[in-house]
């Protein structure tokens, strides 16, 4: 994550968007860590990343006029991405203490 933040800062990005597949989106430890770091669940939208079940955004909080600040690198490509619960049907979210 620190390398990702360093690259984003060096390129003048204002925001990082991560696309997670169902396997990673279902990993509670990973999700809790990313949310703790400040990532937020992004609204469902078309994304060029294949098999994306969940999008997470991280606002770098760089002020306007920050040196080397370029465009917002907004992605406008489309693909078949969804954050619907249908994709999570294959994940087992049962509590082992209740079985």
Give the pLDDT confidence score for residue 4 in this predicted structure.
Answer: 85
Give the pLDDT confidence score for residue 36 in this predicted structure.
Answer: 92
Whole-angstrom distance, CA of residue 5 vs CA of residue 37: 11
Residue 73 sits at the vertex; the CA angle it makes with 56 and 48, to the nearest 5 degrees, is 60
Structure tokens at 8: 């984003």
Q: Does pTM top 0.75 for this prediction?
A: no
Share of the chain residues as helix, strand and coil, in percent rounded to the nearest 5? 30, 15, 55
SS3 assignment, position 82: coil
Give the pLDDT confidence score for residue 60 in this predicted structure.
Answer: 84
Q: Where are the domains of the chain?
A: 2-62+72-83
Q: Is the Cβ–Cβ distance between 40 and 57 less than 8 Å? A: yes
Give the pLDDT confidence score for residue 7 in this predicted structure.
Answer: 87
Tens of pLDDT, residue by residue, the chain (99 residues): 888 888 888 888 888 888 888 888 889 999 999 999 899 998 877 666 677 888 899 998 855 555 544 445 544 444 444 444 444 444 444 555 555
Q: Is the Cβ–Cβ distance between 90 and 22 less than 8 Å? A: yes
Supply the DSSP symbol for 32.
Answer: H
């Amino acid at each position: 994550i620190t390398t990702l933040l360093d690259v984003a800062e060096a390129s003048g990005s204002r925001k990082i968007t991560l696309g997670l597949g169902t396997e990673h989106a279902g990993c509670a430890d990973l999700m809790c860590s990313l949310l703790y770091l400040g990532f937020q669940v992004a609204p469902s939208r078309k994304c060029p990343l294949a098999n994306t079940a969940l999008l997470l955004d991280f606002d770098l909080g760089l002020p306007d006029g920050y040196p080397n600040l370029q465009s917002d690198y907004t992605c406008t490509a489309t693909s078949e991405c969804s954050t619907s619960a249908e994709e999570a049907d294959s994940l087992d979210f049962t509590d082992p203490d209740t079985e």
